[in-house]
């Protein structure tokens, strides 16, 4: 779903900072989940009235889409960061190790925010539009990991992508439940060893 973009009346300009509004909404959705954040609360937090809210974002799901876009384009895109940090060096298992280690470092609660917005914001949500947005991003993330694994182990890529994405989902959920970096790092290392064994197995 794409946010509706209504034209502003000629001669008038928005009285609020849209980028800052998206950043604020992203943090609220991340901290509490999509369903727990209402339009009235968003309007209060963003300092805008309902007409301005709907003119700018179309709907709550439209604002959520903007928040997700900002999130995945930043440092929260863990696999993309791990891949970029490899600078063309290291095998697939090394990049996956780096991905899991980075998740263990970023997911624990800081300033009231924990886990991954994409993985957890719509968990058990009743909103089909919001769920569709996160589902599309999850599929894209898994596809990127699978295709990367397939460069070395095409016949194992599907199963190993499932291993990595399931592990990351579990780490995100555990972080939201209070797991600290040390706990998640130990788990990440275990999954990394399992991944490498599967890569090397005949």
Using the structure block, give the residue that is written with the tokens 């900002």: 70
Using the structure block, give the residue that is written with the tokens 């009285």: 15
Q: Average pLDDT, stretch 169-181?
A: 96
Asked whether residue 2 is domain-assigned, the answer is: no
82, 62, 172, 60: which is closest to 119 by C-alpha?
A: 172
Average pLDDT, the chain: 90
Q: Average pLDDT, stretch 150-160?
A: 96
Using the structure block, give the residue that is written with the tokens 């797991």: 179
Which of 71, 94, 112 terminates a domain? The answer is 71
Asked whether residue 136 is domain-assigned, the answer is: yes
140, 150, 102, 105: which is closest to 119 by C-alpha?
A: 140
pLDDT of residue 6: 44
Whole-prediction pTM: 0.86
Three-state SS string across 102-124, please?
HHHHHCCCECCECCCHHHHCCCC
pLDDT of residue 173: 96
Considering the domain architecture, whether residues 177 and 156 belong to the same structural domain is answered as yes
Neighbour tally for 125: CB within 10 Å:
15
Give me the CATH number covering residue 31.
1.10.10.60
Give me the CATH number covering residue 82.
1.10.357
Asked whether residue 62 is domain-assigned, the answer is: yes
Considering the domain architecture, whether residues 170 and 84 belong to the same structural domain is answered as yes
pLDDT of residue 185: 98
Considering the domain architecture, whether residues 44 and 94 belong to the same structural domain is answered as no
Q: Which residues contact 74 (CB under 8 A, 6 or more apart)?
A: none
Considering the domain architecture, whether residues 63 and 82 belong to the same structural domain is answered as no
Considering the domain architecture, whether residues 62 and 83 belong to the same structural domain is answered as no
Q: Average pLDDT, stretch 147-172?
A: 97
Percentage of the chain modeled with pLDDT above 90:
75
Neighbour tally for 167: CB within 10 Å:
21
Tally the domains of the chain: 2
Give the number of residues written for the chain.
202
Q: 55-97 pLDDT, tens per residue?
A: 999 999 999 999 999 999 987 889 999 998 876 567 999 999 9
Range of the domain at 95: 78-200
C-alpha 10/C-alpha 37 separation (Å) is 32
Least confident of 8-17, 103-112, 136-145, 190-199: 8-17
């Amino acid at each position: 779903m794409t946010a509706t973009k209504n034209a502003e009346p000629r001669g008038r300009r928005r009285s609020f900072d849209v980028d800052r509004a998206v950043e604020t909404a992203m943090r609220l959705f991340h901290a509490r989940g999509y369903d727990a954040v209402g339009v009235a609360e968003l309007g209060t937090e963003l300092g805008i009235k309902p007409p301005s809210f709907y003119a700018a974002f179309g709907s709550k799901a439209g604002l959520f889409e903007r928040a997700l876009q900002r999130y995945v384009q930043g440092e929260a895109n863990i696999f993309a960061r791990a891949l970029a940090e490899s600078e063309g060096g290291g095998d697939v298992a090394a990049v996956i190790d780096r991905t899991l280690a980075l998740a263990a470092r970023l997911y624990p609660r800081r300033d009231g925010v924990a886990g991954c917005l994409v993985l957890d914001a719509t968990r058990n949500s009743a909103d089909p539009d919001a769920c569709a947005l996160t589902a599309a991003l999850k599929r894209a993330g898994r596809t990127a990991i699978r295709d990367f694994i397939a460069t070395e182990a095409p016949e194992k890529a599907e199963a190993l992508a499932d291993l990595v994405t399931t592990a990351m989902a579990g780490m995100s959920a555990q972080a939201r439940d209070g797991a600290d970096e040390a706990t998640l790092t130990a788990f990440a290392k275990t999954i990394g060893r399992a991944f490498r064994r599967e890569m090397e197995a005949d």
